[in-house]
Amino acid sequence: MTSIIDTGSIGKARARKHIRSLTGYFPDVDETGKEKWPRGDEKVWKDGLRAADDDVPSITKSIVHHVQTSLSRQAYNLDDLGAYQATALSAKDNMLLNWNETQLAYTRKQPKRAYYLCIEYLMGRTFDNALLNLGLKDQYHEGVGKLGFNLEDLLTQERDAALGNGGLGRLAACYLDSSSSQELPVWGYSLRYKYGIFQQLIAPDGSQLEAPDPWLEHLNPFEIPRYDVQYEIRFYGQAERTADGRAVWSGGQEVLALAYDVMIPGYGTKNTNNLRLWESKPKRGFDLQSFNAGDYERAVEASNSAEAITSVLYPNDNTTFGKELRLKQQYFWTAASLADIIRRFKSLEKPFSALPDYAAIQLNDTHPTLAIPELMRILVDEEEVPWNSAWDIVTNTFFFTNHTVLPEALEKWPVPLFEHLLPRHLQIIYDINMTFLQSVEKKFPGDRERLSRMSLIEEGFPKQIRMAYLAIIGSRKVNGVAELHSQLLKATICKDFVEFYGISKFGNVTNGVTPRRWLDQCNPGLSALITETLKIPKSEWLKDLKKLEGLIKYADDPQFQKKWAAVKQTNKERLAQYVEATLGVKVNAKAMFDVQVKRLHEYKRQTLNIFGVIHRYFTLKAMTPEERKKANPRVVFFAGKAAPGYYIAKLVIRLIVNVARVVNADPDTKDYLEVYFLPDYSVSLAELLVPASNISQHISTAGTEASGTSNMKFCLNGGLLVGTVDGANIEIGEEIGEENVFFFGHLTEAVEDLRYQHTYHPVPIEQKCPALAHVLNEISAGKFGDGQTYEPLLNTVRHHDHYLLTEDFQSYIDALKLVDEAYLNQTTWLKKSIITCAKMGKFSSDRAILDYAEEYWSIEPLKVE
């Protein structure tokens, strides 16, 4: 515990004196000579919020002030947590000013705005980013130091805001950062889950355990509750059709949506956008009625069920599941967000036909698709806009991003469940479908199969609503998230729709990551080296990432290479320290660091990696000590969470942990191979891992990973990429040059045929890939703990092999061999690493958000002066 004063050993009087000397804070003295101490800093109160508390004395003053007022604590027994909270609140005051000015500017100038609806935001920590974006990091460092604390220690007190599963939620967070930094009027909307993604623990037998993530247990300095912003949201009840396609929806359950705002500061600008999160609350009137009737239990039940809506984030990534509560979450969130957007629009006093001129609403994946029938309901039932005009407005307001072509991830809702929860929305969807199918029939007369393929309703028991199709037909434009993925979309899910609407409705925006968090913050050493080398201010290249190309001319420079390597080494040692502190083991930081961190999923093929590790282990074991000395020492890191119900993915974790146990304990190979599974992968852990990698692995079966974004983070930090020809790996290769990427494996075009062969003309694995067969047999035989445990996992490879491990294993092993050879020549390796970083400019989320702004939303920057 760091504290200003340890009151156990020093008296209070001395503590006060010490604080006085540090902060220059002199309390008043009363008649008796007693100090009025501590009472909060009156000057700060009198001044109110000031635009720039940016000098060190004001900063320390404002921190002490928050200790005494917001926290109601005393400075002399403050721990790191309290110091963090007070310091964060002080930074928040500065952000709040900019946020207010930004919102005021938006209200005054009435620009067209974009709204980004995403059911997940994987924000990570905010404090460091806030200081960077405010340009106050150095001042806070000094100010906090004067109070006897270390800023780095305080930063780690913050819990990650982990309101997301993986890439989808992290992308949303990067986009908000870029929207503020690029001065675009964008707001995010999501849910304020009381529990974020579960905390992952590893049991003694190696399997994953899940514990809740009570991230709101302590004060959250970065959110603002808006008790003045509330909406009533209805579920269940009856929908009675009236005239002109309208209906009255009544009865059922009503709950309240309460807004919490999270400020999103831009880098090097005042612009501070907003992320509005909804919390569910029981509606008071409803509650009281039950209390009055003496039905206490029912009242409690109602409040429980209202609050349950935003209690927990579903821990599934790239899979659907038909839970009623999930559908409730989706409706609650989209209805509250739309009510908010419409209220704001109505204050402009324009006709509804002008809505698309003032609002673009991005549906990030199908989770917010209910916004389409909900806007129809508002316009038609409540605002009495004729159906056709309403549909016109809707289809010019929404935009849809698809994130996957995996069939198990495409959302469908059973009609009976949907009808029970949202009876009016089902009517609207049926009406939309009827009109839509009539127009298809008109364009392709008599093509009944086409009609049933394109219908919003999939026949069967029960019938299901195809949410992706609803999103496609209700949106102005549709996009995928990388070139290959967008092509695949047009050839598969969207094929009929391309034929119906024409190609121009379907585009691409390749994903990006924010270089603020994913370079400057996570890798300060590299950032400083880049600034020093480019000889331009950091603020210039961090906002225009193509400027990194200026590094190319130093790629061969031995002096620069040496500095580049030293930064990497420091980052590896930082990671090694973390591993020692958390797992209690010493890592060989001189070895190559090989990293695969991402959600555990069969399509991402952590299996291929761990089988490769086992193969490497056997190969090393078979060598003589002399031969081994020529091997390239390697430390392999894994991290990632599996959905709690995803049995096979959880088995993979168990296998990795047990392989690590055997391999790390083997004195023959210890110097050449170490394996670690780091528990509880998060944004903050990624910030440690990414800068420390020599290579990272992105090895999905071709055609299954829509884009990936961690591939971008690693390359931006000079880690080389081992990958399949999939998702954004392809575009990374195009940008940095294929000679700098270790590509392997079959191409997307081959996958379908190979799967067909595996199903109908299977070849025994011993014949197809003896090296892999040997690995599987050894696992079966109990080399890494009870072989029986792993049979279900091994059988996914032995039979069907849907993800084509047997097809890609040999070429994977060959690619890793090339990596070893390349690493031995550090001069050429460093050159590859430098060029990789230098050519990553395209993958800034600034570029991506500007693509959306120009080609989709038609919004323009509005600089807050």
Ligand X SMILES: *Cc1c(COP(=O)(O)O)cnc(C)c1O
Q: Which residues bind ligand X (CB under 6 A)?
A: 122, 166-167, 170, 598-599, 681-683, 686, 708-710, 713
Nearest to 703 by CA among 493, 501, 467, 469: 493
As a whole number of angstroms, the distance between CA 681 and CA 675 comes to: 16
β-pair partners for 124: 161
Q: How far is the CB of 590 from ligand X (least distance, A)?
A: 26
As a whole number of angstroms, the distance between CA 70 and CA 428 comes to: 49
Candidates 283, 485, 599, 847; catalytic one: 599
Nearer CB in complex with ligand X: 102/606: 606
Candidates 669, 709, 789, 836; catalytic one: 709
Q: How far is the CB of 204 from ligand X (least distance, A)?
A: 26
The reply to whether 599 belongs to the active site is yes
Nearer CB in complex with ligand X: 62/710: 710
**What torsion, rounded to 10 degrees, do the Cα atoms 173, 225, 112, 432 define?**
80
β-pair partners for 676: 637
Candidates 713, 831, 832, 842; catalytic one: 713
Residues in the chain: 865
Q: What tokens were used for 40?
A: 């909060």
Nearer CB in complex with ligand X: 605/713: 713
Q: How far is the CB of 569 from ligand X (least distance, A)?
A: 23
As a whole number of angstroms, the distance between CA 515 and CA 716 comes to: 8
The reply to whether 463 belongs to the active site is no
Burial class of residue 753 in the structure, from the number of CB atoms within 10 Å of its CB (0-12 exposed, 13-18 middle, 19+ buried): exposed
**What torsion, rounded to 10 degrees, do the Cα atoms 575, 576, 578, 584 define?**
160
Q: How far is the CB of 839 from ligand X (least distance, A)?
A: 19
Element (H, E) at 208: strand 208-211
Strand order in the sheet with 741-744: 673-677, 634-639, 592-597, 695-698, 720-724, 741-744
As a whole number of angstroms, the distance between CA 700 and CA 804 comes to: 10
Name the 3-class secondary structure at 413.
strand
Nearer CB in complex with ligand X: 66/598: 598
Helices 387-397/423-443 angle, 10° precision: 90
**Given phi > 0 = left and psi -120 to 50 = alpha, else beta, which region is 381?**
alpha
Candidates 367, 466, 572, 604; catalytic one: 604
As a whole number of angstroms, the distance between CA 198 and CA 212 comes to: 5
The reply to whether 709 belongs to the active site is yes
Q: How far is the CB of 597 from ligand X (least distance, A)?
A: 7
Burial class of residue 558 in the structure, from the number of CB atoms within 10 Å of its CB (0-12 exposed, 13-18 middle, 19+ buried): exposed
As a whole number of angstroms, the distance between CA 371 and CA 363 comes to: 8
Radius of gyration of the chain (CA): 29
β-pair partners for 783: 785
Nearer CB in complex with ligand X: 511/527: 511
Q: What tokens were used for 180?
A: 């503020």
Contact status, residue 807 vs residue 754, Cβ threshold 8 Å: yes
Contact status, residue 73 vs residue 67, Cβ threshold 8 Å: yes
Contact status, residue 223 vs residue 278, Cβ threshold 8 Å: no
Candidates 159, 192, 598, 654; catalytic one: 598
Q: How far is the CB of 698 from ligand X (least distance, A)?
A: 6
Q: How far is the CB of 177 from ligand X (least distance, A)?
A: 13
Nearer CB in complex with ligand X: 628/713: 713
As a whole number of angstroms, the distance between CA 455 and CA 466 comes to: 8
Nearer CB in complex with ligand X: 16/601: 601
Q: How far is the CB of 600 from ligand X (least distance, A)?
A: 10
The reply to whether 403 belongs to the active site is yes
User: Could you list the active site residues?
Assistant: 403, 598-599, 604, 709, 713
